[in-house]
Amino acid sequence: MRHAYYLLKIAVFVVFNGSVLFGSGIPVSIDDPVYEFLKRMETRGTITNFNDASLPLNRSEIANYICEIQKNDFLLNSLEKALLREYLADYRREISDNIHIDLEADQTVQAPFLMKGGVKKRFRDIFNRTDGAEEKHLLVCEEDKHFIWLDIEESVKFEFKNGEPRRLESDAFIFRGNLGGKLSFYLNAFRYRKTWNPAFTDTLQEQHGNWGMYQPNKLYTFDNTHSALVFRDDYFDLGIFRQPVLWGRSFSNNIILSDNPSVFTYLGFNSSWKNIEFSFIHGSLLNDSTSIKSAPDDVRNQQKYLAIHRVDFPLLSGKIQIGLTDIVVYGNRSLELSYLSPTNFFWTVGHNLMDRDNSLLAVDFKLLYFKNIELYGSLFLDELRLSELGKQWWANKQILQGGICWSPILLSLPVDFQVEFTAARPWVYTHKTLTTNYTNNALCLGFPEGPNSQMLFFRGETNFTRRTRLSCEFKHLKHGVDENGDFWGGDVTSRYTLRDATYENSTKWLMGPIQTTNSFDIRLTYEIFNDSFINTGIYYINKELNGKTTYDTFFFVGLKINI
């Protein structure tokens, strides 16, 4: 009963206030399901001017969208309303003046491990299945505009490849809060332990670009940290971050910044005015030789940086959104002040710095004119000579991407479909040196499949219940492979000076031996207890190259618990 009354107070407050009460610049991880929910709400017309082209968003930004959905909840079906109630509870701090549900009146701190009977209560909370309940924490400290939360997450995943097993375990320490409504901080420190099995030749997504160590008993360990320290004002956020980012329209296969590489640390600046949004990043990268211990120190330690900014603006009351992105990768020297200024145009500045750097441009859009449908498209330019556009000049290094999202109600279930096609020409993202190509520690910053590739992508998702979510993905990929000493522009780490001059003006969209890959991925997530999840899925993949075909089948089951 207390939960229902508590949630009702939040809902009433949102209806009459309609905006966030306490600002919070804490970033929300890009893998949080709230983004899928907000995307669906935008496609169905429940919210407008949702900017998902530069993620992550912070808690205040997401809370604003949650408030807007609450005001239009008559447009939702019963399952969508159930999901909304969960997010109203989770973002209680930003949209309501209520204290955390575990705090009593005039109480500011709640820590089970310091209170009599608290450990037993916390143990009961782990197995709680109450709907519409705010996330529980190991430590809660809230007073006026200040708050601090502490969480610990444990997870384990068992995976099988063609019957061969491996296990992945992780511990995560999550510390976040806000002081005075202006200064926000976030820390997620985690460590992984993987059992080593030579049958698995792939690299885990969690492991991408991370340094690790072999341990006794066939264990391999690696760790990382995601963090943020943000000052938030009425018109801008300014902070230093170390976290995954997504820039682009695809979400799954972004061609500007994807979750393919390891995280990097960056200075970030964001500002918005009348739904016009500006985003800026200046980050420190690892060059392609950093992980090669046999490389000379002066090569491994060469500095590498990324400067990127974009502006997003709506047209026709948000039915059309346009994004313009300006990028430069530079290195082997100290910080360049010209690229530290968010308002500089990097493309022309790079020319005036004697064209030593890798300058890139992108333009993208999304169209929300039709009910339950979003159309989107992107053009990425790694070189621009107007007289050569549309021709087979090797330096027409471009990527084209287009897709459609459809979010209907089918059989009373909220369903989301996405169809997308991406074509990346040979040599896109590549450059002359290991400090100027579009990589972080030899992994492409953009389109995960890299240059010299074409991919057809399908995705479908639905919630069967508030706690049960099913997703399916299919990929059909064609990729031009570098082999036998021939360079066809399919490896982002290869210098474009290695190209065969024979094809200077006859470089097609796909070159060299073509590897064809088909993959199918189906995953089921069930929230067994509040904030504790069981994940399971099957992944099938076949690859064909030079008349030889390989087949692999993966199965996994995992558990994640917030203790």
Question: Which of 171-180, 388-397, 451-460 comes out lowest in average pLDDT?
Answer: 388-397
E strand or H helix at 140? strand 139-143
**HSE-CB for 470 with a 13 A CA cutoff:** 9
Torsion sign (Cα): 197, 200, 205, 208: positive
**Nearest alpha carbon to residue 100 among 177, 188, 18, 187:** 177
Tens of pLDDT, residue by residue over 241-267, are 999 999 999 988 999 999 999 899 999
What is the C-alpha separation between 439 and 442, in angstroms, rounded?
A: 5
Tens of pLDDT, residue by residue over 330-364, are 999 999 999 999 999 999 999 899 999 999 999 99
Longest dimension (CA), the chain: 78
| Backbone dihedral region for residue 355 (phi beyond 0: left; psi -120 to 50: alpha; all else: beta) | left
Query: pLDDT at residue 14 above 90?
Result: no
* Average pLDDT of the residues in 296-311: 94
What is the C-alpha separation between 227 and 189, in angstroms, rounded?
A: 8
**Nearest alpha carbon to residue 41 among 84, 91, 78, 82:** 84
What pLDDT score does 3 carry? Answer: 55
3-class secondary-structure state, position 18 = coil
- With 0-12 CB in 10 A as exposed, 13-18 as middle and 19+ as buried, what is 178? buried
What is the C-alpha separation between 185 and 135, in angstroms, rounded?
A: 18
Query: pLDDT at residue 12 above 70?
Result: no
What is the C-alpha separation between 168 and 157, in angstroms, rounded?
A: 5
Query: pLDDT at residue 444 above 80?
Result: yes
Torsion sign (Cα): 335, 337, 342, 344: negative
What pLDDT score does 10 carry? Answer: 53
Answer for the pair 149, 178: CB distance below 8 angstroms, yes or no.
no
Torsion sign (Cα): 93, 98, 102, 108: positive
Give me the amino acid identity at 361. L
- With 0-12 CB in 10 A as exposed, 13-18 as middle and 19+ as buried, what is 16? exposed
Query: pLDDT at residue 462 above 80?
Result: yes
Kindly give the residue spans of alpha helices, DSSP state H, lying in 441-496: none
Tens of pLDDT, residue by residue over 482-493, are 988 899 999 999
Bridge-based pairing state of the strands 443-444 and 532-545: unpaired
The answer to whether the predicted template modeling score (pTM) of the entire model surpasses 0.75 is yes
Query: pLDDT at residue 226 above 90?
Result: yes
Answer for the pair 307, 279: CB distance below 8 angstroms, yes or no.
no
Give me the amino acid identity at 554. F
Query: pLDDT at residue 5 above 60?
Result: no
Percent of the chain with pLDDT over 90: 72
In this structure, what are the phi and psi dihedrals at residue 96, rounded to the nearest 5 degrees?
Answer: -145, 155
- Per-residue confidence at 123, pLDDT binned at 50, 70, 90? confident
Tens of pLDDT, residue by residue over 497-527, are 999 889 999 999 999 999 999 999 999 999 9
Cis peptide before 56 (omega within 30 of 0): yes
Strand partners of residue 536: 524, 557
**Nearest alpha carbon to residue 397 among 346, 327, 344, 457:** 327
- Per-residue confidence at 98, pLDDT binned at 50, 70, 90? confident
Tens of pLDDT, residue by residue over 182-202, are 999 999 999 999 998 888 887
What pLDDT score does 360 carry? Answer: 96
DSSP codes joined into one string, 192-211: EEEE--TT--S--GGGTT--
* Average pLDDT of the residues in 446-469: 96
What pLDDT score does 198 carry? Answer: 87
**Nearest alpha carbon to residue 514 among 496, 542, 488:** 488
* Average pLDDT of the residues in 319-324: 96
* Average pLDDT of the residues in 5-25: 60
In this structure, what are the phi and psi dihedrals at residue 89, rounded to the nearest 5 degrees?
Answer: -70, -45
- Per-residue confidence at 107, pLDDT binned at 50, 70, 90? confident
What is the C-alpha separation between 256 and 251, in angstroms, rounded?
A: 10
User: In the chain, what are the domains?
Assistant: 2-562 (2.40.160.130)
- Per-residue confidence at 23, pLDDT binned at 50, 70, 90? confident
What is the C-alpha separation between 85 and 79, in angstroms, rounded?
A: 10
* Average pLDDT of the residues in 458-473: 96
* Average pLDDT of the residues in 86-107: 87
DSSP codes joined into one string, 12-29: HHHHHH-S-SS----B--
Please give the distance of CA 166 from its chain centroid, rounded to a whole number: 26
Answer for the pair 499, 427: CB distance below 8 angstroms, yes or no.
yes
Q: How far apart are the first and last CA of the chain?
A: 24
In this structure, what are the phi and psi dihedrals at residue 10, rounded to the nearest 5 degrees?
Answer: -65, -45
What is the C-alpha separation between 253 and 52, in angstroms, rounded?
A: 13
* Average pLDDT of the residues in 541-563: 94
Beta-carbon neighbour count of residue 539 at 10 Å? 17
Torsion sign (Cα): 321, 20, 244, 284: positive
What lies within 8 Å, CB to CB, of 297 at 6+ separation is none
What pLDDT score does 110 carry? Answer: 82
Beta-carbon neighbour count of residue 552 at 10 Å? 16
3-class secondary-structure state, position 25 = coil
**Nearest alpha carbon to residue 135 among 146, 120, 150:** 150
Distances (CA, A) of 150 to 27, 109, 176, 255, 562: 15, 12, 7, 35, 11
Tens of pLDDT, residue by residue over 201-210, are 877 777 877 8
- Per-residue confidence at 9, pLDDT binned at 50, 70, 90? low
Tens of pLDDT, residue by residue over 31-56, are 999 999 999 999 999 999 999 999 99
**HSE-CB for 533 with a 13 A CA cutoff:** 17
Q: Average per-residue pLDDT in the chain?
A: 91
